[in-house]
Every structure is written in structure tokens, then in C-alpha cells.
Structure 1
Amino acid sequence: MPQSTPRAKELGELLRSRRERLQPADVGLPTGARRRTRGLRREEVAQLAAISSTYYAYLEQGRDIRPSRQVLDSLSAALRLDAAERSHIHELIHGAPPAEKPAAAESLAPAVVALVDRLDPCPAYVTGRCWDVLAANRAARTLWTDWPTRAPDARNLLWWMFTDPGARQVMVDWPAEASALLGRFRSAAARHPGDPDFSTLLERLRAASPEVRAWWPQHRVVPLGSGTKRLRHPVLGILELEHVVLQLADDPEQKLVTFNAAAEDQARISRLMRMSPADADHVA
């Protein structure tokens, strides 16, 4: 029987601790009857990682076996390890972190950018998989924030919502809107377990926002959907906008969100778009 080594023992302890901190609902499993095991069962982790229960038990026991990088990646996804933890278990077993695939910058097809611009004066924007704002027309920039003038790592709808005081002025129903946005982010993050972009953004949000720290453990999940938003503009006052969310066929993680107001409010938005900044201050 393979004996334990310090590195194998450390891997086993890490796997066990991460298994015990997860609940079935965290990984999409039914809760079922009252559970005696804290966290997930070993066989549940094995099922999620597509390995045998016996093999996983050996790993937790710290036996001196050498799982492949593929198995370690499967375990990282099953146990929701972050990028640092994933790298650490690879170093424990293989002496070096896994080769990282360079993260491809999200790009938007020029035709989509042109479509967003043509929708003026109806506000419209496109967000990427982590809610980075990839395009926004003039109406959206006027009613929300001027995305191109923000620092590159601040051109993100979640970051704006939770860290920019202006968001609480713009969004009339800020608590409900912010909570729902975080729920949609959780739903998307579940589709990308182990993705460092999601974990990095989440850690930034946790560090910056007491609401994220309080709400994230509640595990609220919200699907994408159309609806109504109320915005406050310093000149136009409170606007009620109906919105539709469309997922792009070439990349379903990219969402085109379009807004429409009542005829009178839409006419006022149109006039605002046609005016110079100085004249716009006097629109009624």
C-alpha cells in the first residue's frame, strides 16, 4: 500500500477542508435527507470530478499516488478552488503550476458595436461574461456613466454598481438592482468553475463592498431576464425604462441590453441627445 508523504498529506488535508466547506446546493446537488457529513460527501466530489470514489478517498488519506494534471483540474472545478489553490495543488504533486492559457481579451464584432450606436436615442449596451461593458451608446453613457472615460478595470457593471456612489444615485431601486445583479453573476460563475476572471472580480468586490460580503453567502441565484428599471437623471428626473436582454449567437455570454421609455420620456431623451452639453443642462 502506498505510504503517505508530506506533500500527499498536505494535498489530502486541502481536499478535505475544501470538501467540508461546500454544501450540495453550491454545486447543484440536491440536499436530500439530513446529512451526517459536514459539507459534501467523498462520493459526491468523486462524481463531480469524474473519478472513482476509492481513488478520491486515497487522495484525501494522503496516500503517495500521483494524480494527473487533468485529475487535479477536475478536482479544482468540483471543489470550486480559486486560481491560487489550483496552482498550489499542481505544485504539490508535479513541482510546478500548470501552464496557463493566456486569457483572450473579450472582443465585440464591429457589426454589434454599430448596432448599439444605431439604437440611439434608445439606451443600449453590451456586457461580457463578467459584466465588463464592451459597448454602450451615447444614451446609455448619459443615463448610467461614461464608460470609456473610466479606468479599464472599472468598466464593469458590477464594479460600478457596488463601488461607485453615483450608481446609488442613478439606480432608484439600488438594493434590489444590486442584489439581482450579484445573483446573475453567481449564476454565470457557476458555469465557469475555476475561471480566474470570476474569482478575481469576486475578491475585488468582496474587499470593496460590504454588501457583497453580506449578500454573497446567501447564495441567491438570478437568471437573465427582461423587466423594468427606474433611473434618476439630474436633468430628466426619474425615468422608467423597459429592457430586453438578448444573448449574442456568436458568444452567448455577451448580452445586448436595450431599453425603451414611455413616448414622452423617450422624446425628452432624444432632445437631450441632440443638444450640446451646455444646452442639455437646461432640458426640462
Structure 2
Amino acid sequence: MTDQDRRRVLAEFLRSRRERITPQDAGILAGPRRRTPGLRREEVAQLSGVSVTWYTWLEQARDISVSRQVLTSLARALMLSSVELRHLFALAGERPPEQPPVRGPGPALQRLVDALAPHPAYLLDANWDLVGWNSAEAGLIGDPGELAPEERNLLWLVFTDPAMRSLLTDWEGQARDLVAQFRADARERFDDPRFDRLTRELREVSAEFNEWWQAHDLADFGSSRRVFRHPRVGLLTFDYVKLAALDAPGVKLFVCMPADEETQRKLPALATASKNV
């Protein structure tokens, strides 16, 4: 899409949103002689705190600059929904505002995770906090529900739980790769209080995390293979698959697929297994 095409689509979008709002919706006295559907341009300009000429140029697809502050004011005046607001910012070539943090998966997403058993599956939020898991995952790494909420974090478990060091056959390689993935995944969350507290505490309690974090290595997630030495079930080899949950921004679903017939055969035992036995 060229810049001219994008400005044209932006103009059409603004006009369509303006025409759907009645004066009553906006708290404006309509008056007796009104033929314009929805709001007039001057009314949107007044509600947004911009000049009528500037807003008219915007609806005429003129080549003018639009600030994030003005976009936010337009979104408020036009009563845009969250998805419409993101669309407005995208058409204007701006990064959408931060969405409210996700508190946890919805019931349907958790039911999906449960239905994936006997394959281990879990949900991570943007800070890699475990916000959902099934019985097979609990059997593989231990039940996160038995931990304090602030300790239900994948990196925290990998770097502070001694059992994880013996569970992962290549702990150092896997742990270092996770740090690089986490740094890349959190590139836009450096001002998040949870992110700041988590990384600070991990650097304090783990010399390995501190060293690898300061290396500033970055890695994208790719389908990866991990080998576990489970205390009850024995060797397990999984290929990891990651999916984004579109209805829960920031949440990702991880599913462990058996990489060999032996692991496939052992899956049912994970539902009742425990790392403490």
C-alpha cells in the first residue's frame, strides 16, 4: 500500500466513523435544520481540539502529519473501540498504544490446554509468567500451582529450581538460549515494572543469568527440541511448538510434541508423575 493509498483509506475510515455517531451520542444539540448524517467535520474538530481546516484536510487524504496525541483525541471524539483505535494508528503509520496487561487466559483457552493432554502444554504471558498449564506439564516440571504466584515464571524456575538443572539434560545450553529468546521477546517491555523486577531479581540470585543477560545475546524462537531426564518416567524428548493466542494479547501457547515412539508411549504416565517422587 502506497502512502497515498494509506491516506485515502484513513480518510474513508474517519468519514465512516464520523457518520455513524449521532449528535446525541456526542452530547451535541442537533438543531432543526440538519441534513448531514452523523457529526459534521467542524464538530469532530471541536471535540478533538484541532482546527476545522486540518481535520478537513485529513478527510481529503492530504499529505499532513498526525501526532499520537491527536490520534488519541480523534479516537476519543469518534468513540472508537480498541480494535478501531489500533486500526487508526496503523493507518496513520504509528505504533498503537500499549494494551492493558493480560491478567490470565480465559476459560476457553485453559480448556484447550487441558484438552491437549497427555501432551504437556502451558501458557506464558509477555513476561513469561506461567498463566495456564495442564496435568501433563505439571507432571513434567512439577505443579506450578504449588508455588507462590511471583515464582510461577519459566525463567525463575529454570534458574532457581535445582530440580530443573537435573531435569534438563542440556541445562546450560537450554537456559542460555532461553535468556536470549526472552531478551528478544521483551524488547518493547523494558519499562514494564514486572519485567524490571523479574530481571533484577534473577540477576541477583543467579550468576549464570546475570552473565548471560549482560551478554545481550538475542534469539528468535524456533521449533526446538528438549531432552528431559524425568525422575519417574525416564528420558523424554519433545519438540516444542509455539502459538500466539490472538484473543489474549501477549499470551503464547507452548505444546510439547513427542519426538520419538518411546516418549509417545510414556506420555500417559506424566499426568500423575511428580518431580518430588
* Aligned counterpart, 2:45: none
TM-superposed CA distance for 1:265, in Å, is: 2.0
Match for residue 263 of structure 2 among 240, 246, 265: 265
Say whether 1:109 aligns with 2:106.
Answer: yes
Counting only pairs closer than 5 Å after superposition, residues 64-83 of structure 1 correspond to structure 2 as none
Residue type of the partner of 2:127? C
How has the CA–CA distance of structure 1 residues 108 and 272 changed in structure 2, closer, same or farther, with 3 Å as cutoff?
Answer: closer
Counting only pairs closer than 5 Å after superposition, residues 106-185 of structure 1 correspond to structure 2 as 106-185=103-182
What SS does the aligned partner of 2:244 have?
Answer: strand
* Aligned counterpart, 1:212: 209
* Aligned counterpart, 2:225: 228
TM-superposed CA distance for 1:124, in Å, is: 0.5
Match for residue 184 of structure 2 among 179, 182, 187: 187
Report the Cα distance in structure 1 between the residues aligned to 2:244 and 2:152, rounded to whole angstroms: 20
TM-superposed CA distance for 1:276, in Å, is: 8.6
Hey, which bits of structure 1, 4+ residues long, moved more than 6 A?
Answer: none
Which deviations, in whole Å up to 9, do the C-alpha atoms of 1:171-220 show, x marking residues without a partner?
11111111111111111221223122111111010111001111111111
Query: Mind listing any 5+ residue stretches in structure 1 that lack a counterpart?
Result: 1-69, 71-100
| Count of residues in Structure 1 that have an aligned counterpart in Structure 2 | 177
Larger Rg: 2
Report the Cα distance in structure 1 between the residues aligned to 2:112 and 2:262, rounded to whole angstroms: 24
Query: Mind listing any 5+ residue stretches in structure 2 that lack a counterpart?
Result: 1-68, 70-97
Which deviations, in whole Å up to 9, do the C-alpha atoms of 1:238-269 show, x marking residues without a partner?
11111111111123421100012123322222
RMSD, aligned α-carbons: 2.1
What SS does the aligned partner of 1:251 have?
Answer: coil
- Are the counterparts in 1 of residues 232 and 273 from structure 2 also a CA contact under 8 Å? no
* Aligned counterpart, 1:237: 234
Residue type of the partner of 2:215? Q
TM-score, reference length from structure 1: 0.58
What SS does the aligned partner of 1:253 have?
Answer: coil
* Structure 1 range deviating more: 264-273 or 133-142: 264-273
- Are the counterparts in 1 of residues 140 and 273 from structure 2 also a CA contact under 8 Å? no
What SS does the aligned partner of 1:228 have?
Answer: strand
What SS does the aligned partner of 1:229 have?
Answer: strand
TM-superposed CA distance for 1:104, in Å, is: 4.7
Residue type of the partner of 1:207? E
TM-score, reference length from structure 2: 0.60
- Are the counterparts in 1 of residues 118 and 267 from structure 2 also a CA contact under 8 Å? yes
* Aligned counterpart, 1:79: none
* Aligned counterpart, 1:197: 194
What SS does the aligned partner of 2:186 have?
Answer: helix
Greater relative contact order, per chain length (Cα 8 Å cut-off, separation 6+): 2
- Are the counterparts in 1 of residues 223 and 241 from structure 2 also a CA contact under 8 Å? yes
